[in-house]
Structure 1
Amino acid sequence: MKIKIVVGIICLLLVCTPVRPSTTIAVIPILEIVKTVTKKVIKAIDLRIQRLQNKTIWLQNAQKQIENVLSKLKLDEISDWTKKQRDLYKNYYEELMKVKSIITYYQRIKEITNKQTRLISEYERAWNLLQKDKHFTASEVEYMEKVYSGILEESVKNIDQIFLVLDSFTTEMSDFKRLEIINSAADQIDANYDDLLIFNRQNVLLSLQRAKTTNDVNKVKQFYGIP
C-alpha cells in the first residue's frame, strides 16, 4: 500500500511536469521520492537490527544461566530436571534461533538498500555532468532524462519488494517465500544498477567520439574523471 501511494505520486508528477530546457533537472521529483523512501527503509532496518541484537544478548545470557544450572546438577538430577523444565526453557533456544535468522534477513535487505543508495549516487553524479556537456543537444539530454527516469521508476519496485519482506515478519510467510522475495529484489537492483552504469558509459563514450581535437578529448576525460 505504501509503495502504491509512492508510485501514484510519481505518475502524477510525470503527468504534470511540462517539457523543460535541458538545464532543468526534471527527474528531481522522482529522485527525491526514491531517496526519501530508501533512507527510511535503511533507518527502519538499522533500528530493527539493533533491537534484535539486544534481544539476542538477553537470550544468550538466559541460555548461559540454564547451562550453568545444568553443569551443577548430577546426571540423575539433570534427567529429572530436564523433564520438568524442558517446555519452560526450550522457548529460549527457539526464540534465539528465530532472532538470529531474522537478523540475517535484515542484513541481506540492508545490502540491497545500500546498493540502491549507490545507484542513486551514480545517477546524480552522471546526470549533473551530462547536463553540462556541450557535446549533447537539448533533445539528447531530454532523452537521457527519460531513460534515467525509467531506471529510477524501476528501482522503486525494489522498495516494494523490501516492504513485502519487512511486513512478512508480522504475517504468516514461509522462509522459502521470504528468500524468494529477497533474491528477486536483489536481482532487480543489480539489473537496475548495471543498466545505469552501461548507460553512463555509453554517454561518456559518445561525448569522447564527438570531441574533435586531442585537447578536447583530454578535457572530456578530465570532466568525467577518466584516467
Structure 2
Amino acid sequence: MKKACILITLIMGLFLAPIQQTKALGIAAIIKAAVVKVIKAVDLKIQRQQNKVIWLQNAQKTLENTMSKLKLDQISDWIEKQRSIYKQYYDELAQVKALITYYQRIKDISQKQIRLVNEYKRAWRLFQQDKHFSPDELNYMSKVYTGILEESANNMDQILLITQSLTTKMTDAQRLKIIHAAADQVETNYYDLVEFNTQNQMLSLQRSKGQQDIEATRKLYGLH
C-alpha cells in the first residue's frame, strides 16, 4: 500500500510538472511580448520628445538672435512683448525634458522585466537537467516561478498605466509615485527569482557526492 502511494505521488509529480512549466512559459511569453511592445512605444515617444527639444531650442536661439540685432531703444518695447513667449518656451522645454526622463525610467523598468524572464528561462532549463532534484521538487520550483511571473505580469499593467499617464493631466508627484511603485515591484520580483535560483543551486551542490559530482554541478551552473 505504501509503495502504491509513493508510486501515485511520483506519477502525479511527473504529470503536474509539465503543466506548471507550460503555464509559467506562457506567462513568460506574455510578459516578454508586452515589454517589447512598451519599449518600442517608449522609444518612439522619446524620439518625438527629443525632436521637440531641438525645435524649442532652435526657436529660443532665433528669438535671442533677433533681440541681439535690435537697437537699445527698441529692446525695452520689444522685450516685454516677447517675455511671455520666452516663458512659454522655457516652461514647455522643462516639461518635455521631464517627459523624456519619465520615458527613460519606464524603459529601464521594462528592460529589467526582460532580464527577469530570461533569468527564469535560463535557470529552469538548468534545474531540469539537474539529477539532484526529484519530480516533486521540480514541480514545486515551477509553482514558485509561476507565482513570480504572475506578479510580474500584473506589474505590466502598472507599466502600461504609467505610459498612459504621461499623456493625461497628472502631476509630477503622481507620476513619480507610480513609477517608483512599479520599479520597486520589478526589483522585488527580480531579486526574489535570483535568490530562489541561488538557493536551489546551493542545495544541488550540498547533495553532490564526490569531487567529480561537485565539479559537474559547478560546471552546470557556471559556478567557480
Normalization by structure 1: what TM-score? Answer: 0.87
Call closer, same or farther: CA 1:22–1:207 in 2, change over 3 Å: farther
| Aligned match of 1:14 | none
Percent identity, aligned pairs only, is: 57
Distance in 1 separating the partners of 2:108 and 2:55: 26
Equivalent position of 1:86 in the other structure: 83
Aligned position for 2:53: 56
Relative to its length, the structure with more helix (as a share) is 2
Q: 1:19-58 residue pairs with structure 2 within 5 A?
A: 19-21=16-18, 25-58=22-55
The answer on whether the counterparts of 2:21 and 2:142 sit within 8 Å (CA) in structure 1 is no
Correspondence 1:93-132 to 2 at 5 A: 93-132=90-129
Aligned to 2:133: 136
Following superposition, the deviation at residue 58 of structure 1 comes to 1.0
Any stretches of 5+ residues in structure 2 without a counterpart? 1-14
The one-letter code sitting in structure 1 at the alignment partner of 2:162 is V
User: RMSD between aligned alpha carbons?
Assistant: 1.8
CA-CA distance at 1:26 after TM superposition: 3.9
Q: Does 1:167 align with 2:164?
A: yes
Q: For the Cα contact (< 8 Å) 2:123–2:197, is it kept in 1?
A: yes
CA contact (8 A) 1:22 1:139 kept: no
Larger Rg: 2
Map of 1:219 onto structure 2: 216
How many pairs are equivalent?
Answer: 210
| Number of the residue aligned with 1:195 | 192
Q: What is the alpha-carbon distance in structure 1 between the residues aligned to residue 95 and residue 20 of structure 2?
A: 52
Quote how far apart the aligned CAs of 1:22 are.
Answer: 8.4
Give the conservation status (yes or no) of the 8 Å contact 2:132–2:208: yes
The counterpart of 2:148, out of the listed 148, 151, 156, is 151
Shift in CA distance, 25/210, structure 1 to aligned 2, threshold 3 Å: farther
Q: Relative contact order (alpha carbons < 8 A, sep ≥ 6): 1 or 2 greater?
A: 2
Shift of 1:78: 1.9
- Output the TM-score relative to the length of structure 2: 0.88
Distance 1:50 1:149, change over 3 A: same
Q: Supply the distance in 1 between the matched residues of 2:104 and 2:174 (Cα, whole angstroms).
A: 17
Deviates more, 1:133-142 or 1:155-164: 155-164
Quick one: distance in 2 between partners of 1:156 and 1:74? 63
Inter-partner Cα distance in structure 1 for 2:18 and 2:26? 16
Greater mean deviation of Cα atoms: 76-85 or 56-65: 76-85
User: 2:31 aligns to what SS in structure 1?
Assistant: helix
